[in-house]
Structure 1
């Protein structure tokens, strides 16, 4: 009883703020407030109760992520995240025992097409719960060619495969199996993100804020393998921040091997972020318990890059016969860059400089057709306030600050170059296919750097508590759920 009273007193202002803001979202995104769907009212009440009684300790952060992620898994219409149909096809193949890809005549279980027939259907209007699972195999078309995921290892699909597989083993409906896959993917992200938060030390508030970005939870609430890869990226970033900012931390050989192992695993899931291994060169020598540290660091970096080349060559052996972007040609585009650098290199450099402008896409959901642009200013103002409230709390060595900036710039450059080579028509004057979510890992790395560069005045006091970070982030997540319901479930 004391817990309930204390929770009520501590959180009532957050719940009232959420209800007021949720009403505003409903008014903004529905034709008339009376058209707001009943399921939206149910979600608003549920989130209000969660906000009221959210535990104060670390478990509260995990619950905020988990409940929000499960809400997105259920509320997000069928296959309504980018390329989810391809990731679902890959998951189904893994469930059927086809762990590694090849170039054989590929078929897929007919259940897949039951899901595809409900493309973008809300769960309240989906026929999936009436569809029984079958073992019948049929040929696939362009939409289901899972070989488009050739650069991703099966590890990134294990959570959703376990969830979907449980439904298949228990002979549950296609709909239940589909949503179980999404929910298990949410669990995986929440566990990895929570580990990252615990490891982040003095950057805990910043890592909590990033981990609770709605885009992270929306991706986790789909069949996208980004849930695992983003979780790993956040853990790697947290390890580095802990290595260089924890005054009592002496980095041991086992720490370096753990860091390298995670980078090796990341190679098979998010290739541009392999450059995070370069952070090893920017750990101050006095923090390392190793006589020949820089030789060891270079050796570990060389190992990761050698594995990257091996993985790239291996993955390219899988031919994506039914998947070709109009006008795109890696070989010719690369020749343009090499033979006419003055003409085409500035195109890539321009995209690097414009990378920050894509962060508004972190609030563009669905197939890039569900935007919250109307309410971005107050949301990003909140994130800015949280960031600057952490100024002075984190002290990174100058060499680590420089290193983090260089590695971040290199990752952005590699992302831009990759999209220019693979996604942009030959000779195009701008890079196509860039999405803000590609830079989530860079944001996680650069926020502690920003807070370390600026110095806090002695007269300034700590502005926000850990509870405020979690509760305010939970409110933003809940508002995103309400926005999704308002737009996709409202009566027109």
Structure 2
């Protein structure tokens, strides 16, 4: 027993590796002695349906044939679709009918569809358009080591071991977060492939790539495909392998050059620096395009992990809540993508943590100058890309030490905070005012088109002040407008799932998962903590001001979306998404602190429970939204 305890980590590593190997062996059980690659092109003929010629391929196997995948080859000019109808034998021996829908285009030499069923009958149909020619259809069932599945199982095993058998590791919250975030983040990056998945990822990649390139930007065809978001739709591991090869092949020759006016970085692009640095490294190492693309995302992930590590480490209150939220699917997915949202979230959160330390957990007479400066700096950096969060810097005026200073020091501090607030706000407000005064009514609006204009919308709001106020408060407090994504499926999700369990274009975990999410958040928000009496018994006027700053920030979020992304004169606000509230999570949790509602539970037990739930939710998201039916 002593030897087992002494070598438990080695034993655990061996067990996890063996488990991953056994999973691969079991996953390939259908190919044991039954591997094949069957060309069924001779079963193809051309028929006519509703005046339209179409290809039809009909294949029968009366005794049943396990089909892992159907492969399609041909010459296609544009995107073409095909349908598959099958009769399948389920695990109970009953025959059922199924339908599949898939597509092809001109970029890849072969496309495929996962079937993974024992089939007695298969019929494939594709319209025979003028510029499309179907040349080959085949079926296959082969043993294949799926590295995505293999490392996914390894990661699950490793996290189970760390969570249940490393008590000291559980107690080191920030280190657990770092290991968790880096491990799952790299898996997300690998599974995402060289294509766009996150919100407006093509725009964020474009800006990061330009910064990495300096004055002269050289675009390859692969880079332009990402920037224009025209990658082919892939839904199998084989297709993604071909896509990666295509992007690497077309990621070497320069097809377009552009010259930037300056190689400097504007204030609102600072958040792209981590991604740009790693893109620069990848380009100079002459790595394949797919590797360079992934490396840029890793730069964003690394920055997120470092900043949130210190936020969690320095937090005197709601440390576990910070770690839990930072490990949830949406924040980690953003950190593993091209976006500035993760920088906004992490830097503002770290700034709020530093502020709360000084406001509620340090001496009321003296504050740490470095911490105060650090809090202001972190909040400022986080707000540069999204100025709507800048009211949070006004929290610095609530420091108790501020009121112990002499009059001169108070005035200087007040002026400094006020100037910072006005400067950042001016980056958004002044262009609007100047264009309004000059009569440039076309200024601002959604670059993707539509009847949007910041100036005309502002004029409309001024003309209808009561309607604007009613619209603003109604939209904020009804909580339903988070789901105005223009997608019927997305509009049915609970806004909490959209905030925390959302992988953008890859989908959102179903509402059933909120049965884990909501209780865990409740426990962490109302957790009883030592030394938090000042926070719970905060003066009422300070709490009112904090709520005021919180509400002003929320109103700015909605106002910005109404001005920039909503058609002029609409009686609804478009574009607001639940993830915009992530930078406000920590402040919101502090505001809910009180002396009446408290959850008493051991710190270790709560940490273990929160990590278990975080693992379950992240594993479910990676499996359902990135791997299942796509790479596995």
TM-score using structure 2 length: 0.64
Cα pair 2:321 2:521 within 8 Å, conserved: no
Structure 2 residue runs without a partner (length 5+) = 20-99, 101-113, 118-144, 164-168, 436-442, 483-494
Cα pair 2:445 2:452 within 8 Å, conserved: no
Cα pair 1:89 1:108 within 8 Å, conserved: no
- The one of the two structures with greater contact order (alpha-carbon pairs below 8 A, sep at least 6) is 1
Q: Alpha carbon RMSD of aligned pairs, Å?
A: 3.7
What displacement does 1:75 show?
1.9
Cα pair 1:423 1:432 within 8 Å, conserved: yes
With over 3 angstroms needed to count, the CA separation of the structure-2 counterparts of 1:229 and 1:286, relative to structure 1, is closer
The 3-state SS of whatever aligns with 2:318 is: helix
- Find the counterpart in structure 1 of residue 422 from structure 2: 306
Moved more, 287-296 or 342-351: 287-296
Q: Distance in 2 between matches of 1:474 and 1:63?
A: 12
- Find the counterpart in structure 1 of residue 306 from structure 2: 191
The yes-or-no answer on 1:118 pairing with 2:260 is no
Aligned ranges 1:172-321 → 2 under 5 Å: 172-248=287-363, 250-285=366-401, 292=408, 294-312=410-428
Moved more, 162-171 or 300-309: 300-309
What displacement does 1:215 show?
0.9
Cα pair 2:330 2:503 within 8 Å, conserved: yes
- Find the counterpart in structure 2 of residue 102 from structure 1: none
- Find the counterpart in structure 1 of residue 515 from structure 2: 377
- Find the counterpart in structure 2 of residue 83 from structure 1: 200
Q: Distance in 2 between matches of 1:419 and 1:217?
A: 24
587, 605, 611: which is aligned to 1:470? 611
With over 3 angstroms needed to count, the CA separation of the structure-2 counterparts of 1:157 and 1:203, relative to structure 1, is same
Q: Deviations over 1:414-473 (max 9, x none)?
A: 00011011111111111111111000011221112213364438xx45464434433432
Q: Deviations over 1:33-88 (max 9, x none)?
A: 978x9534641342222330363334222101111211221223521111001111
How many residue pairs are counted as aligned between the two chains?
Answer: 454
Cα pair 2:318 2:524 within 8 Å, conserved: no
With over 3 angstroms needed to count, the CA separation of the structure-2 counterparts of 1:210 and 1:452, relative to structure 1, is farther
Q: Distance in 1 between matches of 2:175 and 2:252?
A: 40
Moved more, 85-94 or 445-454: 445-454
Cα pair 2:175 2:309 within 8 Å, conserved: no
181, 201, 208: which is aligned to 1:65? 181
Aligned ranges 1:153-172 → 2 under 5 Å: 153-172=268-287
Cα pair 1:212 1:473 within 8 Å, conserved: yes
- Find the counterpart in structure 2 of residue 335 from structure 1: 459
TM-score using structure 1 length: 0.81
The yes-or-no answer on 1:433 pairing with 2:575 is yes
Cα pair 1:391 1:454 within 8 Å, conserved: no
Q: Distance in 2 between matches of 1:478 and 1:252?
A: 41
Q: Deviations over 1:180-199 (max 9, x none)?
A: 11122111100011111112
What displacement does 1:171 show?
1.2
What displacement does 1:485 show?
3.2
- Find the counterpart in structure 2 of residue 354 from structure 1: 478
What displacement does 1:400 show?
4.2
Q: Distance in 1 between matches of 2:307 and 2:522?
A: 25
- Find the counterpart in structure 2 of residue 19 from structure 1: none
With over 3 angstroms needed to count, the CA separation of the structure-2 counterparts of 1:251 and 1:139, relative to structure 1, is same
Q: Distance in 1 between matches of 2:427 and 2:359?
A: 30
What displacement does 1:321 show?
11
The yes-or-no answer on 1:389 pairing with 2:527 is yes
Q: Deviations over 1:369-427 (max 9, x none)?
A: 44433322222222222323347763312344333322111111000011011111111
Q: Distance in 1 between matches of 2:308 and 2:358?
A: 18
Moved more, 368-377 or 72-81: 368-377
With over 3 angstroms needed to count, the CA separation of the structure-2 counterparts of 1:4 and 1:389, relative to structure 1, is farther
With over 3 angstroms needed to count, the CA separation of the structure-2 counterparts of 1:376 and 1:466, relative to structure 1, is closer
What displacement does 1:110 show?
3.0
Aligned ranges 1:30-49 → 2 under 5 Å: 39-40=148-149, 42-49=151-158
With over 3 angstroms needed to count, the CA separation of the structure-2 counterparts of 1:256 and 1:210, relative to structure 1, is same
The 3-state SS of whatever aligns with 1:427 is: coil
Q: Distance in 1 between matches of 2:446 and 2:317?
A: 48
- Find the counterpart in structure 1 of residue 80 from structure 2: none
The 3-state SS of whatever aligns with 2:256 is: strand
What displacement does 1:177 show?
0.8
With over 3 angstroms needed to count, the CA separation of the structure-2 counterparts of 1:154 and 1:256, relative to structure 1, is same
476, 481, 489: which is aligned to 2:622? 481
With over 3 angstroms needed to count, the CA separation of the structure-2 counterparts of 1:69 and 1:428, relative to structure 1, is same
Q: Distance in 1 between matches of 2:519 and 2:413?
A: 39
Q: Distance in 2 between matches of 1:139 and 1:377?
A: 51
Q: Distance in 2 between matches of 1:404 and 1:139?
A: 49
- Find the counterpart in structure 2 of residue 26 from structure 1: none
Structure 1 residue runs without a partner (length 5+) = 17-30, 100-105
Cα pair 1:75 1:123 within 8 Å, conserved: no
Cα pair 2:300 2:335 within 8 Å, conserved: yes
Q: Distance in 1 between matches of 2:629 and 2:406?
A: 57
What displacement does 1:368 show?
7.3
The 3-state SS of whatever aligns with 1:180 is: helix
The structure where helix makes up a greater share of residues is 1
What displacement does 1:315 show?
8.1
524, 532, 547: which is aligned to 1:405? 547
The 3-state SS of whatever aligns with 1:171 is: coil
The structure where strand makes up a greater share of residues is 2
The yes-or-no answer on 1:136 pairing with 2:254 is yes
Q: Distance in 1 between matches of 2:413 and 2:313?
A: 25
